[in-house]
Amino acid sequence: MTLEMVIFLICFPFLAALLLFFMRKSGPVRKYTLFGLCAVIVTAVIGYAVTELISGETHRYFVHTEFVDKLMLGGEWLLMGLIFYFAFRHRKYYVALLSAAQTGLMTWLELTGRTELGGFHVASDKLTIIMCLIIGIVGCLICVYAMGYMKDYHSHHTEFKKRRSYFFALLFVFLGAMFGLVFSSNLVWLYFFWEITSVCSFLLIGYNQTEEAMRNSFRALWMNLLGGLGFAAAIAYCAIRLETLELQTVIQLGTMVPVAIIPITLLAFAGLTKSAQMPFSSWLLGAMVAPTPTSALLHSATMVKAGVYLLLRLAPALCANLAGTMVTTIGGFTFFMTSMLAIAQSDAKKVLAYSTISNLGLITACAGIGMHEAVWAGILLMIFHAVSKSLMFLSVGAVENVTGSRNIEDMHGLIVKLPRLAFVMIVGIAGMFLAPFGMLISKWAALKAFVDSNSILLVVFLIFGSATTLFYWTKWLGSLVAVHHNSERLEDITKGSEWLSLICQAVLMCLLCLTFPVVSSYLIEPFLGDMFHQTLPAIISSGNIHIMALMLCAIVILPVAMRLLTIHRKNKMVTSYMGGVNTGDDRTFTDSYGKTKPMYLANWYLDDWFGEKKLLKPSLILSTAGLIVLMILAIGGAV
């Protein structure tokens, strides 16, 4: 039964994409068709997860797949043809060269029979279940949101050509590619779906077809193709020297055979590019030009999660070697620098983009440590980040549709102007840095793992990076609840489909807060036991669970207690002191020169200290130099 579910989850989204592509007319038929397709995927994912949990075993399928391999090779040539078309059309010849190099290498391996090494091509374990739940549930909620959002988007941006059927189709292709990627245990299969996600991100980022959109989409494409070239080189080395293409076998060899560190390093490099680690972070920042569902999908449920997923898989082979040092150094540095860069941003989507790269850096560093505590923290970070960041991106998109702005400064008093949207946004922000949400617990586990590994530099990165993270999230949260007197309520035009997605994700965020010890016990810890082939001590002690229970009670009890204490108390309206004579409306005051001046609220962005002009270029130079040196040392030391 599980095999049929796996095949269904991989193939069904591609068929759904084909159906939506040919449904060109907007209306109830397309709307409810999309909802029905999402419901089918979510039901299938939950059914698959329940079935696998009941069985409690790791399943592996498919040994002889010559026909499917030839189909995938044909698919790789189609992807190359598509890349060639856009590359020559926009005169980006270097992109065509990168695509030709890796497709040519894979073709040579396939036609010479070097990829026919046996081994299982599909596998299902506890990490696969986690990833499928993220892709299926969060990804489908993003698709549901997109139905209502894209209608408002094109009504506000009449200058862009309406291609909603094309947009919806690409979303489902993305989901299908991600399902294929997480189920693949053969490197050739994994590479095929990996490249589909790269091409899909290129097409989605360039959806508007403006000059900026195309420039950013090509940046995303060439950076991911560079990682794809490293992936193809790793496959070639594994096929020729190690004589295996099964991912788990390569990882096991990486812990025992020195030369196996070479493909591990190349695969880790591919993971760093896909997860937008410095110096490849600019492609994810450029994705902001796309419609909000694209940003949510790339930053939360699919594209970047493919990178950290591969790095977490490689974790045992990254422990205590130069390849792991490369991953931890780049990840820790990225976490620290991008969290500082986020401080100086007022564009909400840019804050979220830098925050995404920062959190992915922390997950990457956890994978590079290669210890079970660090991997536990990385997986939990990945789960919370997927839900929270999707919720935040979609909330910002809804606010932008209502107010016409996504600037944080225009969100002052949102708790009064758009209370429901403010509420779900607050839930998303709380999930990123407040106790007892799992992001905070995960950082605690990561810190412990960094200390146990004697990684002083990583401890410094985590401490200072967490401090700057607290700063920019607190600023944003303060803006939402900072209220001017006489703030006006705005008409909320958010569509029902958007609300369905937002509410479901807010509820999911809260449920994760309550149940992540259960997720750890039944999914993460059993996976770590299989990964490290030993019985591991409990990550979360009973004492910690009691503390979290008290925190949860405090979250409920404190607001209720405050309300009980203030019942029947008369409220006295007090105007704010503004350094002058208050004119009485809490918006203007008379200064020392007798002139009337308006009051305004503004956050502190410290642009002279943390702005992109100060930090971005040096960060990219340092990370590039560090990556090159560490890759040379890792590969050279293994030769």
Structure tokens at 362: 């922390």
Q: Which two tokens stand for residue 367?
A: 């994978």
Residue 6 lies in a domain: yes
| Cα 584 from Cα 609, distance rounded (Å) | 37
Residues forming a β-bridge with 586: none
Residues 190, 235: Cα–Cα separation, whole Å: 10
In a domain, 95, yes or no: no
Beta carbons within 10 angstroms of residue 436's beta carbon: 19
Please, what is the angle between helix 456-481 and helix 419-433, to 10°? Answer: 160
Classify the C-alpha dihedral 275-281-284-288 as positive or negative: positive
Residue numbers of the domain that contains 138: 1-62+122-152+159-186
Determine whether 469 is exposed, middle or buried from the number of CB atoms within 10 Å of its CB (0-12, 13-18, 19+).
Answer: buried
Instruction: Give the Cα separation of 229 and 299 in Å (integer).
Output: 22
Q: In this structure, are residues 314 and 370 in contact, taking their beta carbons and an 8 Å threshold? A: no
Residues 245 and 115: beta-carbon distance below 8 Å: yes
For residues 271 and 514, give the distance between their C-alpha atoms in angstroms, rounded to a whole number. 31
Residue 141 lies in a domain: yes
Above 60 in pLDDT, residue 126?
A: yes
At residue 141, what is the residue type? L
Please answer whether residues 367 and 308 qualify as being in contact, where contact means their C-beta atoms are separated by less than 8 angstroms: yes
Predicted confidence (pLDDT) per residue in 1-32, tens digit: 578 888 999 999 999 999 999 988 878 888 89
Q: How confident is the model at residue 346 (pLDDT cuts 50, 70, 90)?
A: confident
Instruction: Look at residue 438 in the predicted model and tell me its pLDDT.
Output: 60
Give me the torsion for CA of 391, 396, 399, 404, rounded to 10°: -160
State how far the Cα of 22 lies from the Cα of 278, in Å rounded to an integer. Answer: 39
Average pLDDT along the chain: 86
For residue 168, give the 3-state DSSP assignment.
Answer: helix
Residue 590: its H or E element = strand 588-590
DSSP state of 287: G
- Alpha-carbon torsion (619, 625, 628, 630), positive or negative: negative
In a domain, residue 505? The reply is no
In whole angstroms, give the CA distance from residue 146 to residue 337: 32
Does the structure show a pLDDT above 70 at 229?
yes
Q: Which residue has the tokens 């078309």?
A: 85
Tens-place pLDDT, residues 248-272: 999 998 888 888 999 999 999 999 9
- Tokens 């698709």, residue located: 143
Peptide bond into 618 cis (omega under 30): no
In this prediction, residues 578-597 reach a mean pLDDT of 69
CA pair distance 464, 84, nearest whole angstrom: 44
Q: Tens of pLDDT along 46-88?
A: 999 999 988 877 788 877 778 888 899 999 999 999 999 999 9
Percent of the chain scored above 90 by pLDDT?
42
pLDDT at 571 over 60: no
Gyration radius (Cα) of the chain, Å? 25
* Displacement of CA 470 from its chain's centroid (Å): 19
Residue 221 confidence (pLDDT): 94
| pLDDT tens figures, 608-633 | 787 888 888 999 999 999 999 999 99
pLDDT in tens, 84-114: 999 999 999 999 999 999 999 999 999 888 8
47 located within any domain: yes
> What value does the mean pLDDT take over residues 200-207?
92
pLDDT at 102: 94
pLDDT digit string, tens, across residues 422-479: 888 888 888 777 655 666 777 777 877 888 777 888 888 888 888 888 888 888 888 8
Instruction: Check: CB of residue 610 under 8 Å from CB of residue 343.
Output: yes
Predicted local confidence at residue 108, as pLDDT: 94
Residue 297 lies inside a defined structural domain of this protein: no
Query: Per the structure, how many domains does the chain have?
Result: 1
Residue 386 lies in a domain: no
Residue 597's beta-bridge partner residues? 589
Nearest to 609 by CA among 333, 341, 348: 341
**Confidence (pLDDT) at 580:** 61
Under 8 Å CB-to-CB from 543, ≥6 apart: which residues?
Answer: none
Question: What percent of the chain is predicted at pLDDT more than 70?
Answer: 89
Per-residue pLDDT band for 639 (boundaries 50, 70, 90) equals low
Rounded distance between C-alpha atoms, residue 213 and residue 205, angstroms: 6
Q: What is the pLDDT of residue 305?
A: 85
pLDDT at 131: 93
- How buried is 269 (Cβ within 10 angstroms: 0-12 exposed, 13-18 middle, 19+ buried)? buried
In a domain, 25, yes or no: yes
Output the six-digit token pair for 291: 């419609």
**Rounded distance between C-alpha atoms, residue 254 and residue 249, angstroms:** 8
CB–CB of 446/332 below 8 Å?
Answer: no
Which letter does DSSP use for residue 245 in this model? Answer: -
Q: Is it the case that residue 481 has pLDDT exceeding 90?
A: no
Q: What is the pLDDT of residue 141?
A: 93
**Average pLDDT, stretch 403-420?**
84
Query: Given a cut of 80, is residue 215 above it in pLDDT?
Result: yes
Whole-number Cα distances in Å, 205 to 84, 171, 172, 307: 17, 12, 15, 18
Whole-angstrom distance, CA of residue 223 vs CA of residue 354? 17
Residues facing 124 on adjacent strands: 59
Work out the number of other CB atoms within 10 angstroms of the CB of residue 628: 11
Residue 535 DSSP one-character state: P
Alpha carbons 526 and 515: distance in angstroms, whole number: 16
User: Tokens standing for 604?
Assistant: 């502190």
The more confident residue out of 477 and 596 is: 477
- Where b means 16+ CB within 10 Å and e means fewer, 201-218 reads bbbbbbbbeeeebbebbb
pLDDT in tens, 523-562: 988 899 888 877 777 666 666 666 666 666 665 565 566 5
Write out the two tokens for 445. Answer: 């586990």
pLDDT at 209 over 60: yes
Please give the residue that has the higher pLDDT: either 299 or 297: 297
DSSP summary character for residue 278: T
